[in-house]
Amino acid sequence: MLEAVSELAEGDIRLEARHDDVRLDLSVLYNGQPMAFPDRAPTADELMNDDDAMGRMAGWLVRNLADRATAFRRGDEQGVLLRFEG
């Protein structure tokens, strides 16, 4: 996740974590471009020929590894919320 966001971020990246007995929420905050979470992985052809395909692949992987992945804005910052439920 941090590697994917580092391609979008301009400057520092901040990680916030919260947990309870049921879930772990990780929020990644940064200045830059929002992260996209596509419904499908890019094709092999797209990965070879489309400059944005690696970013879409990262978003697709993160979306499928977390129980929930959501992009949001907080003030001037972009954010990504990852939720893991146990």
CATH number at residue 14: 3.30.565.10
Specify which residues 9 forms β-bridges with. 32
Q: pTM for the whole thing?
A: 0.83
pLDDT at 66 over 90: yes
Full residue range of the structural domain in which residue 19 is found: 2-85
pLDDT at 2 over 90: no
Are 53 and 47 contacting, i.e. CB atoms less than 8 angstroms apart?
yes
1 band by pLDDT with thresholds 50, 70 and 90:
confident
Specify which residues 73 forms β-bridges with. 78
Q: Give tens-digit pLDDT for 13-62.
A: 999 999 999 999 999 999 999 999 999 999 999 999 998 898 899 999 99
More confident residue, 60 or 86: 60
Domain count of the chain?
A: 1
Residue that the structure tokens 């929420």 belong to:
25
Phi/psi at 6 (5° precision): -60, -25
